[in-house]
């Protein structure tokens, strides 16, 4: 999501402008399920519709955990636990019985957007909103003030009922998202955190242009308090996509997805999509770069297929708050772009094959665009589940890169029939037999029942951070 960064230059004095923007857009209630439909094809306010193969198994209202004006964000998983981010902090759920999620703990620690990952006994939160300090009691403060803080927070989650805040690391331009890259060889006792941030400004002392870099934090697992930034590699020495392009000017990355088993990563970097060699975690190297100035406004995130020979990039047209799943926008904008990865390792290229966008037309009162999703571990096929904000949750197959097709969907009707309000699913991920969707009205648990995806039930993860893709089904 890009709420803060879309207005950060114009509102440097309001470091939590993302949360303020969300607050101004959010409805106070998801609406009644029996509200009249907006048209023959669009469900009524709050009405749940779905394909026969995708049904709701459980729902945990956000209002029971956090203030309704603050958006839920990303999700991470470990064992029988789900860790759900929110602009106010995070919640830990016991999902050993997925149809009856149980709240284990809630941590209040404001700081948009609280992108979240877990690794062993550690939990990581991204803070991309300028704060008075690094504490969980801080308040917003202008990024023009040198003493303001943004970056990564680390918690010890040995006791899931009582997470303990143990360390913070300040990073250039804050931390919009982050990606875990496990250490190798002599560094097996450490994990690297690739921090993505963007939109520098000459008035921000800790976010000066040009900002063509990522920050890399090394975290010793046995001594997380020694975590520190060890590198800030420049990924765009030529400046990246220029400011006069129809696509966003590149000034950093929005999100990076690592595929450690293949020593590669894909970066969605505003105006550029990049393929990285991460065989040396402290020195990632750009292998290939692609642009799409005809249809991509903002390169937002990336997902590899399990074989590592395809990558899906998403375009967050409108920053996540606009209604772009309509006939006026069309099927190629605010969509996914599928690329085949071809050639030998040192000369790999990304070849565009097709776009995918949900086939349902949404109302002009619904913010809808391609957003966070994950692979479903179906053996022998490339299947993904994905959040589309108020476009709902989509399950789609891109085994044929040139002809992707949706095979299931689940959708909650608009927040409002008369005005554009922020809502819907932020992240939708598959984990050990169920799909978990974290969104504006809470956490939804969905069950996919389809012979085409049945083999996924046999793949079980011990831990899942979607931006650090595991290998399943015997691929190496």
Q: Given a cut of 80, is residue 19 above it in pLDDT?
A: no
Whole-number pLDDT of residue 64: 84
Closest to 466 (Cα-Cα) out of 384, 375, 380: 375
What are φ and ψ of residue 152, in 5° steps? -110, 135
Q: Given a cut of 70, is residue 36 above it in pLDDT?
A: no
pLDDT in tens, 328-372: 999 999 999 999 999 998 889 999 999 999 999 999 999 999 999
In a domain, 314, yes or no: yes
Q: Which of 62-71, 85-94, 217-226, 232-241 has the lowest mean pLDDT?
A: 62-71
Q: Given a cut of 70, is residue 35 above it in pLDDT?
A: no
Whole-number pLDDT of residue 11: 32
Whole-number pLDDT of residue 28: 33
Distances (CA, A) of 143 to 136, 228, 278, 409, 426: 18, 22, 31, 41, 26
In a domain, 474, yes or no: no
Closest to 467 (Cα-Cα) out of 244, 214, 225: 214
Whole-number pLDDT of residue 41: 80
Share of the chain above pLDDT 70, in %: 91
In a domain, 117, yes or no: yes
In a domain, 146, yes or no: yes
In a domain, 469, yes or no: no
Q: Given a cut of 60, is residue 65 above it in pLDDT?
A: yes
365 vs 195: CA distance, rounded Å? 33
Q: Given a cut of 70, is residue 24 above it in pLDDT?
A: no
Q: What is the pTM of this model?
A: 0.93
In a domain, 433, yes or no: yes
What CATH number is attached to the domain comprising 170? 2.130.10.10
Range of the domain at 130: 17-464
pLDDT in tens, 460-475: 999 999 999 999 985 4
In a domain, 380, yes or no: yes
Q: What is the DSSP string of 254-289?
A: SEEEEEGGGTEEEEEEBTEEEEEE-SSTTS-EEEEE
285 vs 132: CA distance, rounded Å? 35
Share of the chain above pLDDT 90, in %: 88
Q: Given a cut of 90, is residue 157 above it in pLDDT?
A: yes
In a domain, 101, yes or no: yes
Mean pLDDT score of the chain: 92
- The number of distinct structural domains making up the chain is 1
pLDDT in tens, 194-203: 999 999 999 9
Q: Is the peptide bond before 210 cis (omega within 30 degrees of 0)?
A: yes
């Amino acid at each position: 999501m890009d709420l803060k960064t879309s207005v950060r230059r114009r509102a440097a004095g309001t470091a939590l402008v993302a949360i303020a923007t969300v607050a101004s857009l959010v409805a106070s209630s998801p609406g009644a399920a029996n509200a009249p439909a907006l048209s023959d094809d669009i469900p009524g306010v709050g009405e749940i519709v779905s394909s026969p193969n995708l049904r709701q198994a459980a729902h945990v209202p956000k209002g029971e955990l956090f203030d309704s004006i603050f958006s839920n964000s990303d999700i991470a998983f470990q064992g029988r636990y789900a860790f759900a981010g929110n602009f106010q902090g995070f919640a830990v759920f016991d999902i050993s019985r997925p149809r009856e999620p149980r709240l284990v703990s809630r941590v209040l620690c404001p700081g948009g957007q609280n992108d979240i990952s877990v690794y062993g006994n550690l939990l990581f939160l991204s803070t991309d909103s300028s704060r008075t300090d690094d504490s969980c009691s801080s308040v917003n403060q202008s990024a023009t003030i040198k003493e303001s803080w943004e970056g990564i927070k680390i918690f010890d989650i040995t006791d899931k009922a009582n997470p303990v805040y143990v360390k913070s690391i300040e990073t250039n331009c804050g931390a919009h998202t982050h990606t875990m890259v496990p250490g190798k060889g002599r560094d097996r006792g450490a994990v690297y955190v690739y921090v993505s941030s963007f939109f520098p400004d000459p008035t921000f002392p800790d976010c000066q242009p040009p900002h063509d870099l990522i920050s890399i934090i090394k975290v010793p697992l046995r001594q997380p308090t020694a975590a520190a930034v060890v590198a800030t590699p420049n990924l765009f020495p030529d400046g990246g996509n220029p400011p006069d392009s129809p696509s966003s000017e590149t000034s950093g990355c929005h999100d990076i997805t690592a595929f450690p088993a293949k020593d590669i990563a894909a970066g969605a970097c505003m105006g550029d999509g990049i393929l990285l060699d991460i065989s040396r975690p402290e020195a990632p190297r750009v292998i290939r770069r692609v642009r799409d100035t005809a249809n991509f406004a903002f390169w937002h995130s990336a997902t590899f297929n399990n074989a590592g020979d395809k990558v899906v990039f998403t375009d967050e047209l409108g920053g996540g708050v606009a209604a772009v799943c309509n006939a006026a926008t069309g099927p190629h904008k605010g969509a996914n772009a599928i690329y085949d990865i071809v050639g030998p390792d040192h000369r790999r290229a990304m070849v565009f094959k097709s776009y995918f966008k949900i086939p349902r037309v949404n109302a002009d009162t619904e913010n809808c665009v391609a957003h966070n999703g994950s692979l479903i571990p179906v053996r022998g096929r490339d299947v993904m589940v994905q959040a589309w904000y108020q476009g709902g949750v989509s399950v789609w197959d891109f085994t044929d890169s040139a002809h992707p097709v949706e095979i299931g969907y689940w959708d909650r009707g608009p927040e409002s029939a008369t005005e554009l309000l922020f809502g819907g699913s932020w992240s939708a991920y598959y984990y050990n037999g169920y799909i978990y969707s974290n969104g504006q009205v809470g956490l939804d648990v969905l069950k996919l029942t389809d012979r085409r995806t049945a083999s996924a039930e046999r793949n079980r993860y011990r831990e899942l951070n979607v931006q650090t893709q595991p290998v399943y089904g015997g691929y190496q």
